[in-house]
Chains A and B, each alone.
Chain A
């Protein structure tokens, strides 16, 4: 076993140890054992950092990969299939090393932050236990080398998310939110499981490597549509976990959980697990599936951004922003900008965690006020939070010199390249939605910064009736702050903010602030060679007969999609020129190529959009050249549409939920009337039968028995008379019988 594998097993099991210790013994430990959680996570991060150092910095090889597995369940020889066994295993490649370090770092920072934020909560110890099991399951997803264990850990993160959303379960809204999250995830997971089963039915293995090897060898026996279906079903797991349309509805409600949890689970790691999973299965996604994924991502990014601009709850804005950014990542994967999407995953994890922790600090300082309308002027009271929050906001908005700029730009360049390659008008919708969402992102984040940190405090403007409606209400804490003095948070909440903000600066990822491709991340994470491309007739069959002279020139590949042999060569040359590896699928090469070409247009457009968005926010909220209230009044239907989140909840309420209720009612009616009717009918039938049986018993069987007894009795009574005990009677009887015999005998003799 490779030493890195051994270390990664230690990293995986440490948070589980933290969970076990804290869930059983937190009340017996000093400080409810929070130091156990922080200490264990610190150790886990140290080991992960060592793995990261070894893999990324020392080895520095895009193809680095070590794997280890063991047979978990051996089913032996199964008739008709052969030897069947389920394996568990660990794979460490560059992506795993990065994710490992990212998850443990953010988890460590959130643990540290929570020691301040959750102080005084009555379930303080259990909170850290839940964080432990979450981190364990998340690391499990990251390290898994097969679909089966990924699915197990997938459900475990769903469980820990459920437990943490409903951490304040005394509140109805939190209990509802946790149920909603669990159910929405369940819908996605069902699809994911079906997708796993389609692949398993074909190859009888869960292992990624073997599935891909089999696919590449063309052993998928069913039609291409089934492969597309398998890809889309697996993607459904991502739709649920990463809150993509149409299952995005749970994530904003999940903000009922404690704010550090929102930072860890619902912004940085768990929701990114969906994107990570799609990246793991990227090579088996057919172009058709990728198109669907791209459109879902683009639509989600756009929709969530439009909703975010009107929300008043500070965490809800960030939640919709998370949905929107996840949409970007999915879009990136869909268009084939694989490394860009994962780059965005990592950068987003850091700056969004920073934003959530910052909003937690604000909520903490504001005594559990979450409504931005009643904030304002906080920059003077909370300089550290202000600085870090602003930096993370700039990264989220995608302003140059930040990490978010590089990753988002790479995705948008990929989208342009994709649209160019696909060539259809409708495919331009994807980059257009992407750029428009980038502008909206800048706008709503500018609005948030302005409402929260600038101007004067508006606390006094708040209507009195819902004044003490705290969100993360821990009353013990409120007692100390009756003076309502807003103050900066303590060091253990400030340090994570600073670290995360530093990780949002471009220099961490790339020396060139304008091009992420020059950084170590994009160099280490390469688009893997697809295993389904040649099987797709859209790609090969179509273009085998239409070799286009245009294609030979290659840059930027417009008008047709797919590639000829000539183009594949061009792609290969290009790859060689840029130090990339050759793509098995010429289409991929072409998209990467086109994305590269679209790099500068993307930079210009997105910078313009972002600056425009921020300026618009400034015009509207700072200088009030356009009055926001009047504008909202003027476009009231649109405003309400956005404020009410596109009415998705209402639509689901009236379709799926009402439908389910109706179906339940019908089934209930069926149960009470038909099933119960049958049961009752059977009961009546049995009762009547029993009556008949009883009568038969009573009169016929008992009659027979009694008759036998009676006849025996009567016969006995008669015969008893003969038994006189006197010898002479017996002699007389003897004679009678003898006489009778003679009579009988002689009668026979005569006749």
Chain B
């Protein structure tokens, strides 16, 4: 198994970067509000991976604790966001956020 490259920090960071990129892409391009929320979750998880990776290579328990907080807050965030989405649907009869531009005023 010697020809296999051992998994190091850069691998974690790369995956995290991809996740962030995908998350951002979803947030910026999708029209469905639910998908946008899923993008946001991807970004948060990209951050979590970063925290855990650094925690592993740096030692200590700070990163782990941080990611736990992030998960908790993500759950709360998801609840609030879904509530917003439901309200948007109530007002606009759609969850297409490209049609929601009342902040322009």
Residues on A lying within 8 angstroms of B by beta carbon are 723-728, 731-732, 735
Q: Which residues of B contact A724 (CB under 8 A)?
A: 101, 104
Q: How far is the CB of B80 from chain A (nearest CB, A)?
A: 15
- Do A725 and B24 have beta carbons less than 8 Å apart? no
Q: Can you list, as one digit per residue, whether each of B84-105 has a CB less than 8 Å from chain A (1) or not (0)?
A: 0000000000000110111111
> Which of B28, B36, B100, B104 interacts with A723 by CB under 8 Å?
B104
Given A726-B97, A726-B98, A726-B100, A735-B24 contact (CB < 8 Å): yes
* 10 A-B pairs closest in CB distance: A725-B104, A725-B101, A725-B103, A726-B101, A728-B28, A732-B28, A731-B28, A731-B27, A723-B104, A724-B104
Chain B residue nearest to A726 in the complex (CB): B101
Q: Which residues of A contact B101 (CB under 8 A)?
A: 724-726
Chain B residue nearest to A727 in the complex (CB): B97
> Which of A723, A728, A732, A735 interacts with B97 by CB under 8 Å?
A728
Q: Which residues of A contact B104 (CB under 8 A)?
A: 723-726
Interface residues in B34-54 (C-beta closer than 8 Å to A): 36
Q: Which residues of B contact A732 (CB under 8 A)?
A: 28
Q: Which residues of A contact B97 (CB under 8 A)?
A: 726-728
Q: How far is the CA of A732 from the CA of B100 in the complex (A)?
A: 16
Chain A residue nearest to B98 in the complex (CB): A726
Q: Which residues of B contact A725 (CB under 8 A)?
A: 100-105
Q: How far is the CB of B94 from chain A (nearest CB, A)?
A: 14
Q: How far is the CA of A648 from the CA of B101 in the complex (A)?
A: 110
Chain B residue nearest to A728 in the complex (CB): B28
Residues on B lying within 8 angstroms of A by beta carbon are 24, 27-29, 36, 97-98, 100-105
Give the interface SS of chain A, mostly helix, strand, loop or mixed.
Answer: helix
- Do A727 and B24 have beta carbons less than 8 Å apart? no
Q: How far is the CA of A731 from the CA of B29 in the complex (A)?
A: 10
Q: Which residues of A contact B24 (CB under 8 A)?
A: 731, 735
A725-B101, A727-B103, A731-B28 given; name 13 further pairs at CB < 8 Å. Answer: A723-B104, A724-B104, A725-B100, A726-B98, A726-B103, A726-B104, A727-B97, A728-B36, A728-B97, A731-B24, A731-B27, A732-B28, A735-B28
Chain A residue nearest to B33 in the complex (CB): A727
Q: How far is the CA of A728 from the CA of B98 in the complex (A)?
A: 8
Q: How far is the CA of A743 from the CA of B103 in the complex (A)?
A: 30
Chain B residue nearest to A725 in the complex (CB): B104
Q: How far is the CA of A166 from the CA of B100 in the complex (A)?
A: 103
10 A-B pairs with CB atoms under 8 Å apart are: A725-B101, A725-B104, A726-B100, A726-B104, A727-B97, A727-B103, A728-B29, A728-B98, A731-B27, A732-B28
Q: How far is the CA of A494 from the CA of B104 in the complex (A)?
A: 118
Q: How far is the CB of A739 from chain B (nearest CB, A)?
A: 11
Q: How far is the CA of A731 from the CA of B36 in the complex (A)?
A: 12
Q: Which residues of A contact B29 (CB under 8 A)?
A: 728
Q: How far is the CA of A725 from the CA of B98 in the complex (A)?
A: 9
Q: How far is the CB of B48 from chain A (nearest CB, A)?
A: 20
Q: How far is the CB of A719 from chain B (nearest CB, A)?
A: 13
Q: How far is the CB of A637 from chain B (nearest CB, A)?
A: 116
Q: How far is the CA of A723 from the CA of B104 in the complex (A)?
A: 6
Q: How far is the CA of A731 from the CA of B100 in the complex (A)?
A: 15
Q: How far is the CB of A728 from chain B (nearest CB, A)?
A: 5
Chain A CB count within 10 A is highest, among B28, B36, B102, for B28
Q: How far is the CB of A725 from chain B (nearest CB, A)?
A: 3
Q: Which residues of B contact A723 (CB under 8 A)?
A: 104
Q: How far is the CA of A729 from the CA of B100 in the complex (A)?
A: 12
Q: Which residues of B contact A727 (CB under 8 A)?
A: 97, 100, 103
Q: Which residues of B contact A728 (CB under 8 A)?
A: 27-29, 36, 97-98
Q: How far is the CA of A348 from the CA of B105 in the complex (A)?
A: 112
Q: How far is the CA of A724 from the CA of B100 in the complex (A)?
A: 10
Q: How far is the CA of A426 from the CA of B75 in the complex (A)?
A: 140
Chain A CB count within 10 A is highest, among B29, B97, B104, B105, for B104
Q: Which residues of A contact B28 (CB under 8 A)?
A: 728, 731-732, 735
Q: How far is the CA of A735 from the CA of B23 in the complex (A)?
A: 13
Chain B residue nearest to A732 in the complex (CB): B28
Q: How far is the CA of A546 from the CA of B73 in the complex (A)?
A: 138
Q: How far is the CB of A75 from chain B (nearest CB, A)?
A: 81
Chain A residue nearest to B103 in the complex (CB): A725
Q: Which residues of B contact A731 (CB under 8 A)?
A: 24, 27-28
Q: How far is the CA of A724 from the CA of B98 in the complex (A)?
A: 10
Q: How far is the CB of B89 from chain A (nearest CB, A)?
A: 16
Q: How far is the CB of A94 from chain B (nearest CB, A)?
A: 111
Chain B CB count within 10 A is highest, among A724, A728, A735, for A728
Q: How far is the CA of A18 from the CA of B95 in the complex (A)?
A: 113
